[in-house]
Chain A
Amino acid sequence: MMKNCEYQQIDPRALTVSPSSAQIHTVKKVQRLRRKWEVFPGKNRFLCDGRFILARQSGVLPLTLGLIIVTCCLFFAFDCPFLVEHLTVFIPVIGGMLFLFVTISLLRTSFTDPGILPRATPDEAADIEKQIDTSGSSTYRPPPRTKEILINQQVVKLKYCFTCKMFRPPRTSHCSLCDNCVERFDHHCPWVGNCVGKRNYRFFYSFIVSLSFLTSFIFGCVITHITLRYQAGKSILQAIQESPASVVELVICFFSIWSILGLSGFHTYLVASNLTTNEDIKGSWSSKRGTEDSGNPYSYNSIITNCCATLCGPMPPSLIDRRGFLPPDEAGPAASTSEIELPPFAAKNGTHMCTQSTKDVLERMVHSSEFQGLCPPGIPKTTPLGLEGSNTAAPSTEPLPSAGCSRHHACHSVVTPCPPFSRSSRRDSLHSINPAFRLASPSPSLSHTTLILGDAPDMGFILPREHPLTTGEDEES
């Protein structure tokens, strides 16, 4: 109803209806449900609200991308026209396809979870400790714990990871750069800006193989180009002067080819013998160590099977569940008091409801007293809002600080929707009231108040699709 949208300065005195204890409870309850990526303990960066994962140090990924893009652009701009004219039109087509494949593989390698193992829960860690039964004193760090197991009749030692508090599964290694245990850990690649592990090894392999093809292809085409010009009667110097970009490409390709081809060859060998770089470097299964059966226990003893298993095997799921919601209890009681959920506000005259800027709201809030108690009571603890959809700009990509600038962050991360009146504009339709947020406050001005996010469309907080109110019905609270 329109009249409920009228903005009214919230009178703190009018809010003293619920006892203070209940208000404190509601402060805790109205905490925004946080996603698991926000409290992820490893050194990773998350983009797009947890959809993409990257190592914190992106290494030289921009350089890699830059080199590839620049080389290809030069190729398409300077060499292709000549070659299309003199040879065939398929040259840019093939080049384009290779370029696309390389870029997509690179991005998938960089942004895919390599197979990170979530750290052990406290209960699990305690259980493991009990089993180890260290009866020594607790003042010093106990010696590295290992457990020996038999894999395919071969003894393998499992090491205990002190950071993740668990025995690492076989072939798992802890990456110090990312501070995570990664399954089937191959290596941490700075060019790609991520670890290479079980889940993204196939992308990494596609990337280096296709990159070898791409560099060889460009190299060959550029040589052909210059040769053709040379054969047309000009000197080499003249040919180069006519197409200076070709020299740049030549230089880049020449230096890359050695390393990329070498790397592809090396990884082809690893794939064929079902080894990881880590194991190969450490010589875990080399015949020099150990006299009795020291072969790779994971190998299928057939090159084809090894290749297929590594590259075409089933794609395991990500174990860290980045976009899952944390149960509200786990969000941390310490943070609850300072992470004030901004109380809902009614807008001026309905039509301008959703246009009130966040800043204004904040200012009003700051100037108004007793904001601690303004959190609307009765907001239930678990309201899965399922923030899916067009969350283009993740408002807070870092974990919300437990103190300090909580207001500003809380403002951006508040999910309290607006009531569904004023369906006139598209923006307004984003804010449909969630019945779970209906307040039990006696003050009518508060019952339909919501926080207006000034840049609401960009926030894109869309209620789950199956929610009845997202169908656009004007539901009266």
Chain B
Amino acid sequence: PAETFHNLQELRHSASLANKIFIQRDYSEGTTCKFQTKFPSELESRIEWTLFEDTVKTLNNYYAEAEKIGGQSYLEGCLACATAYLIFLCMETRYEKVLKKIAKYIQEQNEKIYAPRGLLITDPIERGMRVIEICIYEDRGSSGSSSGSSSVSGSTAR
């Protein structure tokens, strides 16, 4: 089956947004950052459940790693306190490092899995870590998960 969207740029600039869905936070374990893995109904026709769950679970693991309280975070905290927190001005915190990894991961997932299916994941950090926003783009071809041909691209709104 031909791929409708070849890359993210094409998706962003030439497709029209059909819908946005939001994956909310899962607070069952406290205030740590974790997203619900419940599969939204709007995505049923677009992507396999396992792929979606995999993405969300990996993201949850990343956030858990960033927020883990353990030896390294204590060390960072104590060092910061000892230097009157000035060390934060020159050093990148562990959280920030993990956030960069997350951004790369999301980009990679978008390119490999979501964009070919007409979907786009927005990094939660851009939404205040409250939701994972998934943009659903208009399926150019006929309904269903099969991608339409790119010959219809001229008619899509810019």
Residues of A within 8 A of B (CB): 100-101, 104-105, 108, 117-118, 120-121, 123-124, 127-128, 149-152, 156, 158, 166, 169-171, 183-184, 202-203, 206, 297-298, 305, 308-309, 311-317, 319-321
Contact = CB atoms under 8 A, between A and B. Distances in A.
B134 to A, nearest CB: 11
Please give me the 7 A-B residue pairs with the lowest Cβ-Cβ distance, nearest first. A312-B77, A118-B128, A104-B84, A319-B128, A312-B74, A315-B93, A123-B20
Interface in B84-143: 84-86, 88, 93-96, 99, 125-131, 133
Contacts of B129: 319
A123 B22 CA distance: 9
B132 to A, nearest CB: 11
B27 A314 contact: no
Contacts of B43: none
A152 B78 contact: no
B127 A121 contact: yes
Nearest to A100: B84
A314 B128 contact: no
Given A151-B27, A298-B31, A314 B94 contact: yes
Contacts of B22: 123-124, 127-128
Nearest to B17: A123
B94 A166 contact: no
Interface stretch (B3-11, B44-52, B61-69, B144-152): B61-69
Contacts of A321: 126
A169 B86 contact: no
A114 to B, nearest CB: 14
Contacts of A117: 128, 130
Interface of B: 20-22, 25, 27-31, 66-69, 73-74, 76-78, 80-81, 84-86, 88, 93-96, 99, 125-131, 133
Nearest to B79: A312
A263 B60 CA distance: 37
A53 to B, nearest CB: 15
11 contacts: A100-B84, A108-B85, A123-B133, A150-B28, A308-B77, A311-B81, A314-B66, A314-B69, A314-B76, A319-B128, A321-B126
Nearest to A164: B128
B31 to A, nearest CB: 6
Nearest to B130: A166
Contacts of A308: 69, 74, 77
Nearest to B88: A315
B28 A124 contact: no
A241 B69 CA distance: 55
Contacts of A317: 93, 95-96, 99, 125
Given A206-B81, A319-B128, A313 B69 contact: yes
B28 A120 contact: no
A298 B28 CA distance: 11
A158 B26 CA distance: 12
A149 B28 contact: yes
Contacts of A309: 69
B32 to A, nearest CB: 10
A149 B27 contact: yes
B27 A169 contact: yes
Contacts of B30: 151-152, 170, 297-298
